[in-house]
Amino acid sequence: MQPEIPDHMFYSFLTGGLCASSSTNSTTTTSSFYPFAIEDTVSQDKALAAQRNHKEAERRRRERINSHLNKLRKLLSCNSKTDKATLLAQVVQRVKELKQQTLEITDETLPSETDEISVLNSEDSSSYDDGRIIFKVSFSCEDRPDLFKDLMETLESLQMETIFADLTTVGGRSRNVLVVAADKEHHGVESVQFLQNALKSLLERSSKSVMMGHGGGGGGGGERLKRRRALDHIIMV
Amino acid sequence: MQPEIPDHMFYSFLTGGLCASSSTNSTTTTSSFYPFAIEDTVSQDKALAAQRNHKEAERRRRERINSHLNKLRKLLSCNSKTDKATLLAQVVQRVKELKQQTLEITDETLPSETDEISVLNSEDSSSYDDGRIIFKVSFSCEDRPDLFKDLMETLESLQMETIFADLTTVGGRSRNVLVVAADKEHHGVESVQFLQNALKSLLERSSKSVMMGHGGGGGGGGERLKRRRALDHIIMV
DNA sequence: CAAGACACGTGAAGC
DNA sequence: TGCTTCACGTGTCTT
C-alpha cells in the first residue's frame, strides 16, 4: 500500500548528511565537532526516527482531510476531478441553500420559537356555512400534557365547534391550527376578541406550568433545528 | 504584504546551484557544463522567475482553499481553532443532517414526486357531525391551471361539501388535502370508491394536458429539491 | 513552455 | 519533551 521510502532519500541526505538543518544546528552539535562521532550517530538516529514519525503523521493527516473531501464530493454528487477549492465553494453554497430551505419550510409549517396567536374571521372568503361564523385559529406555544384537553374545554365553554384541527408538536413546541364554527345566535364578529383572550390565558397557563428550563427563547436563532427529531403531526376532522 | 524572498534561498541554491534537480537535469544543462557560464545565468533567471510564479500561484491556491474553509467555519458557527480535518468531518455530518431534514419535512408537507391518491373515511376517529360522513382526501399530482376548478366541480357533482382545503403548489407539483362532508342520505361508506375514481380521472385528465416535458419522473431522487423556490401554500375554510 | 492542481517533506508553533 | 497542526516551497503530472 505505502510506497515506503519512494524518493525522500534526496531530502534525507540533505538533513542528515552534509548540510546542517536551519534549526537543529545548535542542538546536535554541542558536545563534538567531529561529523561522524559516536554521540552524533546516536542522536542522528533519534532525530531521523523523529522525522520519519513526523513525515508519516503528516501523511496520515493529509489522508484524513482528503477522505473527508471525497465524502463531500459524493454528497454533492460531483465529479471526483473537481478542484479542492471549487468543491469547497460548492459545499459552502450547498450548506447555505440547505439552511435557507429548512428555515423557509420550517417557518411555514412547524411551531415558531416564540409564542404567537392569530385568530381570523374567515367569513369573507367563502360563506357556504350560512348559519355559522367560521374562525381560523392558529397559535404556537410550549407543549404540555394537557394542552389539547384545555384547548377543547376552552372552545366548548365558548360554545364553539371544532371543524378541523391540525396539530403539530415537535421539539417541545406545539403549533395548532384550528377551524372552529360558532352559532350566529350566540356570537358575532366581535367574538374574535373572546377567542383571542381565551387563548392568551391558555398560553399563560402553559408558561406557568413550565416556567424555567427554557431561558430567553429569543437569542441566537441559528441552530434551532438541531434538536428537532421525528415530528409528531396530527390532523383531525 | 508578501514577505518576498523570505527563506527560499535555501531551496533556490539547491535547485539552481550545486545540486541538480531530479527532473530538470536534462533540460538546462545540455549545452554547457561550466556552472557559471552566460547561457546558464540567463536560463537560471528564467527558471527562477518561473519558480517564483509557481510559488505565488501555489500560495494563492492555498489562500483560496483556506478562505472557503473559514467560510464553512462561520456557517457551522464553530471555533476558528478547530482542525481542518474535524471541521470537514463536521461539514460532512451537517450536510447529511440537512439533506435528511429537508427530505423528512418535504415528504410530510410537500407534493410528492409521484402521483398519489388517498381517501380516508374518518368517521371512526370522532363523530361530532352526526348527519354527515366526513372524508379526508389527499393527493399529489402535476399542477395545471384548472386543477382546482375541476376538483371543485368534481366534488360538487358528487354532492360533497368542502369543509377544509389545504393546497400546496410548488415546483410544478400540487399537493391537496381536503376534508369533505357528504350527506348520509345520499352517501354511504362505499362512497370512498366514488371519490377515488373521480380523483383518478381528474389526475388522468391532468397528465393528458401536460403529457411531455417531464420525462420519467422516477429516476435519481437525490436532487429533487434543487428547483424548489417560493412555495405557494393556501389554506381555505 | 506555461498555467494549474496535487502530494510530499519540512520547519515552526501550540499543547 | 513529544505529539499535532499548519504554511510553505517544491517536484510532478495534467490541461
For the ranges A123-137, A217-231, B42-56, B108-122, the lowest mean pLDDT is seen at: A217-231
Cβ proximity of B73 and B80 under 8 Å: yes
**Helices B38-75, A84-109: crossing angle, 10 deg rounding:** 10
Which chain B residues in 59-98 lie under 8 Å from chain A, judged by CB atoms?
Answer: 61, 64-65, 68-69, 71-72, 75-77, 84-85, 88-89, 91-92, 94-96, 98
> Has residue A185 got a pLDDT over 80?
yes
Please report which confidence band the pLDDT of residue B209 belongs to, taking 50, 70 and 90 as the band edges: low
Please report which confidence band the pLDDT of residue B69 belongs to, taking 50, 70 and 90 as the band edges: very high
pTM of the model: 0.55
> Has residue B37 got a pLDDT over 60?
no
A92/A99 Cα distance (integer angstroms): 11
Of A41 and A82, the structure prediction assigns the larger pLDDT to A82
DSSP A58-115: HHHHHHHHHHHHHHHHHHTT--TTS-HHHHHHHHHHHHHHHHHHHHHHHHHHS--SS-
Q: Which of A56, A58, A82, A57 is nearest to A70 (CA)?
A: A82
Q: How far is CA A26 from CA A14, A33, A36, in A?
A: 17, 12, 17
Please report which confidence band the pLDDT of residue B96 belongs to, taking 50, 70 and 90 as the band edges: very high
Which chain A residues are within 8 Å of B68, Cβ to Cβ?
85, 88-89, 91-92
Q: Is the CB of B46 under 7 A from strand C?
A: yes
Sheet strands (E) in chain A: 116-121, 132-142, 160-170, 173-183, 232-236
A33 to chain B, closest Cα gap in Å = 23
Task: Find where cell 457551522 sits.
Answer: B76
> Has residue B14 got a pLDDT over 60?
no
Q: Is the CB of B85 under 7 A from strand D?
A: yes
Give A108-166 pLDDT, tens digit per residue. 666 778 898 988 886 554 444 567 888 888 899 998 888 888 898 899 899 998 877 77
> Has residue B10 got a pLDDT over 50?
no
HSE-CB at B121 with a 13 A cutoff on CA atoms is: 16
Of A10, A108, A110, the CB nearest to B231: A108
At A197, give phi and psi (nearest 5°): -65, -40
Burial class (CB in 10 A: 0-12, 13-18, 19+), A124: exposed
Spatial distance from the CA of B9 to the C1' of C11 (Å): 14
> Has residue A205 got a pLDDT over 60?
yes
All three cell numbers of B175, joined, read 399537493
Please report which confidence band the pLDDT of residue B200 belongs to, taking 50, 70 and 90 as the band edges: very high
Partners of B236 in beta bridges: B165
The reported pLDDT for the residue numbered B31 is 42
Please tell me which residue lies nearest to nucleotide C14, judged from CA to C1'.
Answer: B81
The reported pLDDT for the residue numbered A188 is 80
Nearest CA in chain A to B180: A237
> Has residue A61 got a pLDDT over 50?
yes
The reported pLDDT for the residue numbered B124 is 53
> Has residue A9 got a pLDDT over 50?
no
> Has residue A197 got a pLDDT over 50?
yes
B79/B69 Cα distance (integer angstroms): 12
Q: Is the CB of B22 under 7 A from strand D?
A: yes
Q: Is the CB of A57 under 7 A from strand D?
A: yes
B105/A230 Cα distance (integer angstroms): 10
For the ranges A102-106, B47-51, B68-72, B207-211, the lowest mean pLDDT is seen at: B207-211
A40 to chain B, closest Cα gap in Å = 24
> Has residue A60 got a pLDDT over 90?
yes
Which nucleotide's C1' is closest to B81 (Cα)? D5
> Has residue B105 got a pLDDT over 70?
no
> Has residue B9 got a pLDDT over 90?
no
For the ranges A199-213, B50-64, B222-236, the lowest mean pLDDT is seen at: B222-236
> Has residue A55 got a pLDDT over 90?
yes
The reported pLDDT for the residue numbered B188 is 81
Q: Is the CB of A100 under 7 A from strand C?
A: no
All three cell numbers of B24, joined, read 530538470
The reported pLDDT for the residue numbered B123 is 57
The reported pLDDT for the residue numbered A114 is 86
- Which of A19-33, A46-60, B24-38 shows the highest mean pLDDT? A46-60
Q: Is the CB of A59 under 7 A from strand C?
A: yes
The reported pLDDT for the residue numbered B194 is 87
For the ranges A77-86, B50-59, B108-117, the lowest mean pLDDT is seen at: B108-117
Which chain A residues are within 8 Å of B228, Cβ to Cβ?
101
DSSP state letter for A235 = E
> Has residue B137 got a pLDDT over 70?
yes
Average pLDDT over chain A reads 71
Cβ proximity of B2 and B60 under 8 Å: no
Of B166 and A22, the structure prediction assigns the larger pLDDT to B166
B204 to chain A, closest Cα gap in Å = 28
> Has residue B207 got a pLDDT over 90?
no
CB contact under 8 A, B231 and A122: no
Please report which confidence band the pLDDT of residue B230 belongs to, taking 50, 70 and 90 as the band edges: very low
Which chain A residues are within 8 Å of B65, Cβ to Cβ?
84-85, 88
